[in-house]
Structure 1
Amino acid sequence: MTIFTKATARLAVVAAAASVALGLFSTGAAHADTFIPLPGGEITETLPDGTSVTIRLRDESVNISPSMGATPLHRNVWASGRAEVQVHGAHKGVKLYPGYVVGCQVDISGGNANGGANGAVNSQGKGSGGVTSGGNLTLGPGQASTFWLLDVEGPDAYGERGSVPAIKFRGQEGSVTWADSTLGLAGCAGYAQARAFVAVEVSTEFGRSELRLWGQPFSLG
């Protein structure tokens, strides 16, 4: 399940090309805090109307610590990073969705879950957000879910009060920074993995386009 509507065939190819698959960084079981710096990534893609979009994942790291559950079924990670997007050209608005995909004994490539923290929005120019908390997931073998970092209040498409896991901006650039955002995983008896992503939706006079940058997968033990 995805919160995006499907884009054109060309954009599907662009999204596939935007994936940065850098391989698995395995840490083994974490019996003490284990700090892992991650490389992040950067892509620049040109939309069908000629608009250029740059997405970056910077300052990414995770700190794997023993869970409060103190059992093999519990994992706990503190994640930090910064998502940035720049739009080189005219547009009608940009949405920036940062998050993580978490998987239990499965090839992690997507999913959905609730959870997150609050971000701030300046819709008149630059967009920015900050995250300092997190959430918990419960997964069994063969399951994968998305952990959204943001939960920003605002009207939905019908004008009703709601929330979206994104910041919105109308300027040329926006960013979200998170520090020690907790990813708690319960119920997974086997190996578990996670990876960050930065999803971007750009609206222009020609339509709506979607891009996604993937970070490097890392082991939760």
Structure 2
Amino acid sequence: MINRKKVARLAGVGAAATIAMGLFSTGAANADTFVPLPGGELVKTLSDGTVVTVRMVGESATISPSMGSTPVHRNAWVSGSAQVEIAGGGEPGGYIYPGYVVGCQVNITGGGAEGGAAASVDSEGSVSPSAETGGNLTIGPGQAKSFYVLDIESPDDYGNERHSVLNGFQGSTGSVTWSDETIGLNGCGGYAQARSFIGVEVITESVTTWVTLWGQPFSLG
């Protein structure tokens, strides 16, 4: 004889499990996505024989569903560490400018942005120091923008607030690390990508030059 109450209880358990699985699947679909990135290394010999090594280590991105929940919004948090070593050059030093280029429906894999996109990158792939700070960007299709991750506050000679996008160093080594810097992208209805860069101004006894290391592009969705 079939116990109908027992069957009803089991059916109720099955229904509850189905609902729980549905909620779990929805949460998984909207969960953050961690993207480990390979970083990179660039070694360049300057005209005076100085050897400059620039490294990106510990680079990663966490892609999150947009707070706006629309196809034209993207959110990401990025982390990494820029390291510079200088061999030679007397008493060298320099400045480190870490940042990112973000593009909407544009190729940024070749260094900077291609296809007429308006990123602050010159013909040699060096990012202009006039790139804006802060990762809250509004970009339409076919456009790209670059920004610096540093925004260091300090007083100027008159006590007013001054903001700096660089980290200076003296001697043969320098570094700067950032964690969970925000990229907030608005206005891009198509695919979007981002790519890190480390711009380094190297100063030696006889040479002042700019070196740029590019990271691997990654999708913002």
TM-score by length of 1: 0.72
The answer to whether the aligner puts 1:174 opposite 2:192 as a matched pair is no
CA offsets, 1:65-91, max 9 Å, x none?
111111111000011111100111224
1:172 Cα deviation after fit: 1.4
Contact 1:104 1:190 in 2 (8 A): yes
Contact 2:133 2:165 in 1 (8 A): no
Question: Counting helix residues as a fraction of each chain, which structure ranks higher?
Answer: 2
Aligned equivalent of 1:114, options 118, 125, 132: 132
CA offsets, 1:140-178, max 9 Å, x none?
01110112101234689xxx9743311111121111111
Contact 2:94 2:201 in 1 (8 A): yes
2:93 equivalent in structure 1: 93
Q: Distance in 1 between matches of 2:211 and 2:192?
A: 26
2:31 equivalent in structure 1: 32
- For structure 2, the 5+ residue unaligned runs are 1-28, 114-118, 121-130
Contact 1:192 1:220 in 2 (8 A): yes
What's the RMSD between the two structures over aligned residues? 2.0
SS of the equivalent of 2:41 reads strand
User: Across the two proteins, how many residue pairs are aligned to each other?
Assistant: 171
Q: What does residue range 60-139 of structure 1 map to in structure 2 within 5 Å? A: 60-89=59-88, 90-108=90-108, 109-110=112-113, 111-112=119-120, 113-116=131-134, 135-139=135-139
Q: Distance in 1 between matches of 2:92 and 2:172?
A: 10
Contact 2:52 2:87 in 1 (8 A): yes
Contact 1:91 1:202 in 2 (8 A): no
1:46 equivalent in structure 2: 45
2:58 equivalent in structure 1: 59
- For structure 1, the 5+ residue unaligned runs are 1-29, 117-134
The answer to whether the aligner puts 1:187 opposite 2:205 as a matched pair is no
- State the structure with bigger RCO (CA 8 A, min sep 6), 1 or 2: 1
Report the structure number with the largest CA radius of gyration.
Answer: 2
